[in-house]
Amino acid sequence: MSGTVRRSAGGSGVVRGSVKERARIALKDDFLRGAVRYTTEKLRGGRKAAALEQGRWEEWRERGRSIRLHTIAHLDYYLKQFADNARAGGAHVHFAASGADAVRITMDIARSAGARTVVKSKSMLSEEVHINEALEAAGIESVETDLGEYIIQLAGEAPSHIIIPAIHKNRAQIAELLSKEAGAQLPPDTKALAGFARRRLREKFLSADIGMTGCNFAVAETGSIVVFENEGNARMVSTVPRIHIALMGMERIVPTWEDLEVMATLLPRSATGQKLTVYMSGITGPRREGDGDGPEEMHVIIVDNGRSLQLGDPEFQDLLHCIRCGACLNACPVYRHIGGHAYGSTYSGPIGAVLTPALNRNVAEWDDIANASSLCGACWEACPVKIPLHDMLVYLRRKKVERGRKNTWEAAAMKGFRVVMSNRKRLEAALALARIGQIPLVRDGAIRAKIGPLKGWTAYRHAPSLAARPFRASWEELRRGLAQTAAPKKAEALQKLERFARSRQPEGRDSH
């Protein structure tokens, strides 16, 4: 499918072409639209029900926000505490300033261990830094073990949703992919397909040299990484192979185990509506002396890759509060119509629309991602930690304009806007002109012509014509009638207004 994002998408992770073009392709794919709609409906319904069931959800959100705010504001302290405690627990802790550093460190570990196979559980960060490409280039087999990730790895595609990566694939397509891998025809039946994946991946778990996980949260208090999952593959890859590598975004810190309870309450409910994922594992270092299983060696790679760029920026620092639950994707009407691949990079949906430009230093790659939003605010409403993504999208648009990357037509129109709207007389003159100018276009009170800037509108809608007389022209006449209409209840209304105005300014400040 030409709209699909392939995995080897280049260093920055952003695909060529525009969101608009990819969206157009996605909008024509009925299966994709049906699948995305079904999935997001289910998940957002799940979130709402789970929030209701938990009760006092707004207080939980506020607490989640407070903890994230505090953590990010003191990230230097907590990262150090985490690293010290993790090392004391026997883990090797590495710091990767860039995605390339994370890859380099991983490759060093893999090569020095003579690794031939790596088994991976789901990690958006590993997609962000393109670890699989590097491993494969070095001749090391890297196997995704999360069922959805396994499927899209076989297809050579990028995930289209943070939580359910393969929603754009139907059963038949999946059966085809797995049959090829199996060397035998598998029926398009979920149980059979999942059963094959379980058997095949079991072999890989038991023979792999390295297991790689992401990290949902890292508890600074004890140097523990915490992984949330439903399948059991993250437990597998962090228990069976000799070496465990955990890739951790530097913002994933949580100060204490107590704070983890808040995250454990917000994350699963916001992501899928579950009270808790089937498995939540706190891993502190490699196996202890005397343990019979668990990795002998554990590495935690803490990654920056553009995250620190947001620190100190009051408009974008809150981006680092994100706990990658995907609730914004499920709430977003744009995502629901175009799916994840149309966004063209590792992270999609509202969080992706802000994160991708924010993490990437290269302004040219911003594309029109920030424009793929009607600013409805559903993302902010759904976010368990109240990130104002809808505001950030506007800030991104402003930054783009400030850096001179404006669309020439739009810039000209905005110049015109300024001239006309800064002075009522100019507005009145412009309206008068436009009323004349629209005459050839208006039929039965509407404009249907698909020309010029109107085309985007009239492709799907009739446009209204300008009124024969604007409100301001008929105001005088209206005003005279209003005095009479208001007379009967005027005194009563005045009393109410005065009382309200007084209550508005308790210190008796002058209302003017």
Partner 1 sequence: MTTSDREQWLERLYRQSLQDEAAFLQNIARRLGRAEPLADPPRHPFRGAPDFWREHSLSAEDNIALFMANWTGAGGHAIRLPDLRAAGQYVADLARERGARSLVCQNEPELLLWRLDEALPDHDVLVWAADRPGRLEAAAKADIGVVMAEYAAAHTGSIVVTSSPDKGRSVSLLPDVLVAVVPVERLHTKMGDFLGRFAEMARERMPAGIHFISGPSRSADIENDLTIGVHGPGVVHALLVG
Partner 2 sequence: MKVSLFITCLCDAVYPRVGEAMAKVLARCGVEAEFPAVQTCCGQPAFNSGYWPEAAASAETLLEAFHDSDFVVAPSGSCCGMIHHYYPKLFENDPEKRERAERLAEKTYEFTQFLVNVLDIEDLGAVFPHKVTYHPSCHGSRLLGVREEPMKLLSGVRGLELVPLPHAEDCCGFGGTFAVKMSDISGAMVMEKTDHVLETEAEVLTGLDMGCLMNISGHLRYRGGPVRVMHLAELLEDGMAAAERPTMAGSERLGGDRL
Interface of this chain with partner 2, residues 374 to 403, rule: CB under 8 A = 374-378, 380-381, 394, 396-402
**Of residues 45 and 464, the one with the C-beta less far from partner 1:** 45
Contact pattern from residue 351 through residue 390 relative to partner 1, giving x for each residue in contact according to CB under 8 A and a dash for the rest:
----------------------------------------
Rounded to whole angstroms, the Cα distance separating 270 from 268 reads: 5
Rounded to whole angstroms, the Cα distance separating 48 from 270 reads: 8
* CA distances (Å), origin 326, targets 394, 407, 428, 442: 21, 31, 47, 45
Contact pattern from residue 441 through residue 480 relative to partner 1, giving x for each residue in contact according to CB under 8 A and a dash for the rest:
----------------------------------------
Say whether residue 30 binds partner 1 (CB under 8 A): no
Contact pattern from residue 46 through residue 65 relative to partner 1, giving x for each residue in contact according to CB under 8 A and a dash for the rest:
----------x--xx--x--
461 binds, among partner 1, partner 2, none (CB under 5 to 8 A by kind): partner 2
127: nearest Cα among 320, 317, 355: 355
CB of 510 to partner 1, least distance (A): 37
Rounded to whole angstroms, the Cα distance separating 251 from 78 reads: 10
Q: Which stretch binds partner 1 (CB under 8 A): 249-257, 352-360, 362-370, 391-399?
A: 249-257
CB 209 within 8 A of CB 114: yes
Q: What strands, in cross-sheet order, belong to the sheet with 463-464?
A: 442-443, 446-447, 463-464
Q: Which of residues 164-183 bind partner 1 (CB under 8 A)?
A: 164-167, 169-171, 174
Structure tokens at 17: 């072409």
Rounded to whole angstroms, the Cα distance separating 238 from 215 reads: 11
Rounded to whole angstroms, the Cα distance separating 255 from 253 reads: 6
Rounded to whole angstroms, the Cα distance separating 437 from 299 reads: 69
Q: Is 282 helix (H, G, I), strand (E, B) or coil?
A: strand
Contact pattern from residue 451 through residue 490 relative to partner 2, giving x for each residue in contact according to CB under 8 A and a dash for the rest:
--xxxxx-xxxxxxxxx-xxxx-xx--xx--xx-xx-xxx
304 binds, among partner 2, partner 1, none (CB under 5 to 8 A by kind): partner 1
Only one residue has tokens 């830094």, namely 129
157: nearest Cα among 55, 7, 265: 7
Rounded to whole angstroms, the Cα distance separating 294 from 235 reads: 10
148 binds, among partner 2, partner 1, none (CB under 5 to 8 A by kind): partner 1
Contacts of 476 (CB under 8 A, 6+ apart): none
Say whether residue 16 binds partner 2 (CB under 8 A): no
Say whether residue 92 binds partner 2 (CB under 8 A): no
Contact pattern from residue 406 through residue 425 relative to partner 2, giving x for each residue in contact according to CB under 8 A and a dash for the rest:
----xx--xx-xx-xxxxx-
Q: Which of 27, 107, 154, 194 binds partner 1 (CB under 8 A)?
A: 194
**Of residues 282 and 464, the one with the C-beta less far from partner 2:** 464
**Of residues 55 and 404, the one with the C-beta less far from partner 1:** 55
283 binds, among partner 2, partner 1, none (CB under 5 to 8 A by kind): partner 1
Structure tokens at 433: 């002109």
511 binds, among partner 2, partner 1, none (CB under 5 to 8 A by kind): partner 2
Rounded to whole angstroms, the Cα distance separating 68 from 259 reads: 10
74 binds, among partner 1, partner 2, none (CB under 5 to 8 A by kind): partner 1
Q: Which of 94, 324, 336, 341 binds partner 1 (CB under 8 A)?
A: 94
Q: Is 409 helix (H, G, I), strand (E, B) or coil?
A: helix
Say whether residue 433 binds partner 2 (CB under 8 A): no
**Of residues 3 and 223, the one with the C-beta less far from partner 2:** 3
423 binds, among partner 2, partner 1, none (CB under 5 to 8 A by kind): partner 2
Which DSSP string corresponds to 294-355?
S-SEEEEEEE-TTSGGGTT-TTTGGGGG-----HHHHH-HHHHHHTTGGG-SSS-HHHHHHH
